[in-house]
Amino acid sequence: MAFRTIVVGCGAVAQRLYRKPLAQLAKQKMIEVVGLVDPAREHADAMLSAFAGARHFTTLEEACKAARPELTLVLTPPHLHCAQTEMAFAHGSHVLCEKPMANSSAECLRMQDAARVANRVLAIGMIRRYFPAFARLRELVQSGALGRLQSFEYREGHKFEWAVTTPAAFRPRAKGGAGVLFDIGTHALDFLQSVFGELAVHQYADDAAGGVETNVAMRLRAADCVGSLNLSWDVPQVNELRVVGVASEAVLRIDRFDQLAVGRRGAFVPQTTDVSFPVDLGLDPKRVVPRSYSDAVLCQLVQVLRAIKFDERPAVDGQGGASCIRLIEHALSKASPLPEPWLAPREQAAAAQLHGSS
Amino acid sequence: MNTIAIVGAGGFVGTSLIESLVLSGNSGVRAVVRSYRNMAGFCRFGDAVEVRLADATREAALVKAIAGAAVVVNVTTGPPAGIVESTRAIYNACRAAGVPRFVHLSSAVVYGDVEQPIDDDAAPLDKHWMPYARAKAESERWLRAQGHAGLEVVVLRPGIVWGVRSPHTTGFARSLARKSSFLVDGGAHVFNGVYIANFVAMIRAACDARGSVAGFYNAGDAERVTWREFYDALGGALGCDPAQLPVVNGEKFPWSTGAVIDAVQSLAPVNALYHRLKTHIPDGLKAAIRSRLEGSYSFDRHATAYATVASVDRELWHLQRVRHKLPVKKFAAAFQFSTPVSFPEAVGRTLAWIESLGLAVAAPAHTIEFSKASNE
């Protein structure tokens, strides 16, 4: 039986990441997309061509009443996640909510409570859990193959290229905006916590100067090691995660699916990255190694369906999603101005002064 | 405060200009961008920047976006095929909206390899192998042909804009860190650069000047620097000794398969078709092509061995054979201007920025002591 599914938010994330894998699952009769929710008709139209049986709705409430979804995909800007998730649960639907889970840990708690009361699955979309190189690195670290851990260095930055359809993410935080920390930071922190266990923020600095942060530098502590995290929306970082153990060092290329190497003293040997995930709802499911974003989203969707059908735990549940938001809040509560020694001294002073107003 | 409207504000020059204006306390900063995603670079300044959406090739949308501005600055980037079109549209929009001054960014590349000494008012080359250079030259010629009644046009012609956020600079830094760069004729020729903060200061001077300042101006740093001196300045922090880089002859371009592909792509119809098709290629296929072209990833951030045979990029080969520094006296005289950042200071700032990207040689995190000022 196909799960009746609605998509809430038909902008860039829905169109670029979800449309193809949803169409694949619909073809295999695992889901049936019955509703597309977006106040902008043209966004829904971009999805409707792939799902002939779906109806367009301008509000979620209307969709929940008319389409009676079993699964709701919340793909809207983060400031809408909490209310939309609560509404979906109130109508008896399971929910896959794209990261970041919400804009505050208070909202995360409300979402978790709503899931508990409705007795429904709450999964958070963290696509990188399904990147084979990421999964392989996690196995390597947790198996002790690198020896006792010493440190990690995570760097990710590039010119922001998502064809977002609203300016929501770029508004000041008081107006519902969220900067690079909420955007790629949630991916990074979720993955780092999945590898190293619970993290604590030791130091945090960002370049917010009246708005939301574009560049971030953090120092973190895990139970067994220390690490750093640098993120950017406007300049290219080296885009690597380096994990240093006493026995060897691992390097993961962040922007590739399958690029992982292990070595010592700077000489690295590429590793096989053949970690696979289920792609059907059988008891002995077929598995594939994701090789594209589309594959990874498909695996993520199948895992949510399996969580609903077999009571399996999603890769990231409400608790996992909320722990990232708590970590981010902790960081932001201690934010100091990011050192920018390349600015003139008077500009550095002005940036530091504006940082306080962010 | 008079409003400065920056068209194409999401690029690195636009972002740097906004940064300079906001951190100097300017209140009239308006960013004109084609799509919301271009806000990412300057959203750190929040409501200090007014944002308006407009496609730089659509005159009607531009007229609304720039209405009320005292100056419009064109810092658009994008496919060469759109450069002339956007120049015309912005110019016409300025006239229609009654904007008194238009600051247009051209490029020193319109003079090719600067084989002979040249002054600011020399006409651009008629022919050039690079579509970007041809488009910039055509834009200049079109602007020269206009009457400009009621609109003051200031054209700035920068060399390589280098330093913080500069894509050229990250390219140089990466190739030095990988020891895969090269030097044409041993790096003896002129690095015709302008440090980003100096260039931003020049744009601001062009915006702020009183009286008539219309004209064409070269934009560059004060010092004459060779490529070898430039690479020496950056190389140490990146673990690279430029003396060990391969030397390439500057008389005849060393053709390779990659260079032939570049040459075919630079043919006007092919280039236009490439940029039109590029937007229709699915992301997955684009990533696969990029991955194939890039080859296997080198995990050695700092290579131990120097390349013996250089893979020579045609644009960089031409940039490295520039014979003469473009004069910047005209701008200095017209705007009572001297560059605020010296070459050594600019190098220091650039290296600090490169370090923040993780490109410079650095110690692993566990060997660096955490400061006592924890905010746990």
- When pLDDT is cut at 50, 70 and 90, the band that residue B276 belongs to is confident
The pLDDT tens digits for A270-308 are 999 999 999 999 999 999 999 889 999 999 999 999 999
Report the range of poorest mean pLDDT among B84-88, B113-117, B339-343, B361-365: B361-365
Digit-coded pLDDT (tens) for B228-245: 999 999 999 999 999 999
Q: At A165, is the pLDDT very low, low, confident or very high (cuts 50, 70, 90)?
A: confident
What is the pLDDT, as a whole number, of residue B364? 56
Q: Give the lowest-confidence range in A137-146, B90-99, B115-124.
A: B115-124
Tell me whether residues B165 and A234 touch, CB distance under 8 A: yes
Q: Do residues A60 and A10 lie in contact, with contact meaning Cβ atoms separated by under 8 Å?
A: no
Q: Is A343 exposed, middle or buried (0-12, 13-18, 19+ CB in 10 A)?
A: buried
User: What is the distance between the alpha carbons of residues B216 and B204, in angstroms, rounded to a whole number?
Assistant: 15
d(CA B181, CA B12): 24
Same domain, B290 and B210: no
Look at residue B261 in the predicted model and tell me its pLDDT. Answer: 79
User: How do A240-245 and A149-157 pair as beta strands?
Assistant: antiparallel
Residues of A in contact with B341 (CB under 8 A): 344
B362 in any annotated domain: no
Q: Say what the pLDDT of residue A20 is.
A: 95
Nearest residue, CB atoms, B40 vs list A234, A292, A351: A234
Residue B360: the pLDDT is 84
Residue B132 belongs to some domain of the structure: yes
User: Chain A residues with CB inside 8 Å of B51's CB?
Assistant: 167
Interface contact flag, A212 B43, Cβ < 8 Å: yes
- The span from the CA of B266 to the CA of B114, in Å, is 21
Grade residue B222 by pLDDT with cuts at 50, 70 and 90.
Answer: very high
Place of tokens 């022919």: B127
Report chain B residues whose CB lies below 8 A from the CB of A212.
43-44, 46
**Mean pLDDT, residues B299-310:** 78
pLDDT at B149: 80
What percentage of chain B reaches a pLDDT higher than 70?
A: 90
Q: Examine the domain organization and report whether B17 and B75 are in the same domain.
A: yes
Mutate to test the interface with A, among B34, B36, B43, B283 (most CBs of A within 10 A): B43
Do residues B166 and B308 share a domain?
A: no
Mutate which of A235, A265, A338 to disrupt the B interface (most B C-beta within 10 Å)? A235
Contact criterion met (CB below 8 Å) for A151 and B366: yes
What confidence score (pLDDT) does residue B373 get? Answer: 45
By C-alpha distance, the chain A residue nearest B197 is: A343
Domain match, B162 and B271 both: no
Residue B370 lies in a domain: no
Are A209 and B375 within 8 A, CB to CB?
no
Give yes or no for A159 touching B (CB within 8 A). yes
Q: Give the pLDDT mean for B151-171.
A: 96
User: What residues are paired with A32 via a beta bridge?
Assistant: A4
Measured distance CA(A322)–CA(A103) in Å, rounded: 10
Q: Around Cβ A6, how many Cβ atoms within 10 Å?
A: 26
- Is residue A60 scored above 60 in pLDDT? yes
Determine the residue of chain B that is closest to A338 in CA distance: B356
Please state the rounded mean pLDDT for residues A335-340.
96
DSSP single-letter state for residue B44: G
Region for A217 from its dihedrals, namely left if φ exceeds 0, alpha if ψ lies in -120 to 50, beta otherwise = beta
The burial class, CB within 10 Å (0-12 / 13-18 / 19+), for A52 is: exposed
Average pLDDT over residues B113-141: 87
Residue B186 in any domain: the answer is: no
Q: Judge contact between B154 and B198, C-beta under 8 A.
A: no
Nearest beta carbon to residue A204 from set B25, B367, B375: B375
Q: Which of B319, B343, B370 is the last residue of a domain?
A: B319
In a domain, B250, yes or no: yes
Rg (CA), chain A: 21
pLDDT for position B256: 82
pLDDT, average across residues B13-28: 97
Q: Verify that B173 and B271 share a domain, yes or no.
A: no
What per-residue confidence (pLDDT) applies to B156? 97
CA distance linking residue B236 with residue B242, whole number of Å: 9
Instruction: Tell which residue, A315, A188, A200, has the closest CA to residue A239.
Output: A188
Instruction: Determine the Cα–Cα distance for residues A187 and A216; give it in Å rounded to an integer.
Output: 14
Q: How far apart are CA B161 and CA B156, in angstroms?
A: 12
Number of Cβ within 10 Å of residue A147's Cβ equals 12
- The answer to whether the Cβ–Cβ distance between A263 and B299 falls below 8 Å is yes
Closest-CA distance of chain A to residue B358, Å: 6
Do B44 and A202 make contact, defined as CB atoms within 8 angstroms? no
* Distance, CA of A172 to CA of B19 (rounded, Å): 16
B268 and B171 fall within a common domain? no
Residues B209, B260 within the same domain: no
CB neighbourhood size of A55 (10 A): 17
**B251: domain range?**
228-319
A219: nearest CA in chain B? B370
Mean pLDDT of B127-131: 85
Average pLDDT on B29-49 reads 96
Residues A155/A238, Cβ–Cβ less than 8 Å: yes
The dihedrals phi and psi of B82, each to the nearest 5 degrees, come to -95, -5
CA A241 to each of CA A181, A250, A262, B351: distance values in angstroms, whole numbers, following the listed order: 17, 8, 12, 22
CA distance B150 to chain A (A): 35
- Residues in chain B within 8 Å Cβ distance of A151: 364-367
ipTM: 0.91
Task: Tell whether the model's pLDDT for residue B253 goes beyond 80.
Answer: yes
Mean pLDDT of A244-261: 91
Nearest by CB: B36 against A166, A225, A334: A166
What pLDDT digit, counting tens, does each position of A138-149 carry?
999 999 999 999
- Residue B375 inside a domain? The answer is no
Are B83 and B61 within 8 A, CB to CB? no
- C-alpha of A229 from chain center: 16
CA separation for the pair A194, A135 (Å, rounded)? 10
Instruction: Work out the minimum CA distance from B339 to partner chain A, whole angstroms.
Output: 13
Instruction: Identify the CATH number of the domain in which residue B19 sits.
Output: 3.40.50.720
Burial class, B25, CB count within 10 angstroms (exposed 0-12 / middle 13-18 / buried 19+): exposed
Euclidean distance between CA atoms A2 and A72, whole angstroms: 14
- Residue B376 inside a domain? The answer is no
> Is the Cβ pair B23, A219 closer than 8 Å?
no
Q: Which chain B residues are Cβ-neighbours of A192 within 8 angstroms?
A: none
B217 and B140 in a common domain: yes
**Mean pLDDT, chain A, whole residue set:** 95
B22 and B46, same domain (yes or no) = yes
Q: Which of A342, A343, A346, A354 to mutate to test the interface with B (most CBs of B within 10 A)?
A: A342
Closest Cα in chain B, distance from residue A159 (Å): 8
Contact B48 A219 (CB under 8 A): no
Contacts with B291 from chain A: Cβ below 8 Å: 256
Mean pLDDT, to the nearest integer, of B304-328?
90
The alpha carbon of residue B127 is apart from the nearest alpha carbon of chain A, in Å, by 33
Residues of B in contact with A165 (CB under 8 A): 36
Give the one of A214, A236, A293 whose C-beta lies nearest to B170's C-beta: A236
Å between B14 CA and nearest CA of chain A: 12
Flag whether B185 is in a domain.
no
pLDDT of the residue at B290: 66
Residue of B nearest to A214 (CA): B44
Q: What is the pLDDT of residues A169-196, one digit of tens each?
A: 898 888 878 899 999 999 999 999 999 9
Is the domain of B132 the same as that of B173?
yes
Tokens representing A236 are: 């290219």
Q: Evaluate whether B225 touches B191 at the Cβ level (below 8 Å).
A: yes
pTM of the predicted protein model? 0.92
Q: Which domains does chain A have, with CATH numbers?
A: 3-126+290-317 (3.40.50.720), 129-277+323-337 (3.30.360.10)
Cβ separation of B46 and A160 shorter than 8 Å?
no
Clarify whether residues B263 and B200 are in a common domain: no
- With beta carbons under 8 A apart, name residues in chain B contacting A328: none
Per-residue pLDDT tens for A192-214? 999 999 999 999 999 999 999 99
Residues B40 and B108 in one domain: yes
- Give the gap in angstroms from C-alpha A134 to the nearest C-alpha of chain B: 15
3-state DSSP helix/strand/coil % of chain A, to nearest 5:
40, 25, 35
* pLDDT in the model for residue B118: 85
Q: Exposure pattern of B124-137 as b/e (b: 16+ CB <10 Å)?
A: beeebebbbbbbbb
Asked if B41 and A219 come within 8 Å (Cβ–Cβ), the reply is: no
Residues 257..296 of A with a Cβ closer than 8 Å to B: which?
A: 259, 261, 263, 266-268, 270, 292-294
Domain count, chain B: 2
Banded model confidence at residue B375, pLDDT cuts 50, 70, 90: very low
Does A342 touch chain B if contact means CB atoms closer than 8 Å? yes
Q: H/E element holding B346? A: helix B343-356
Mean confidence (pLDDT) of chain B: 89
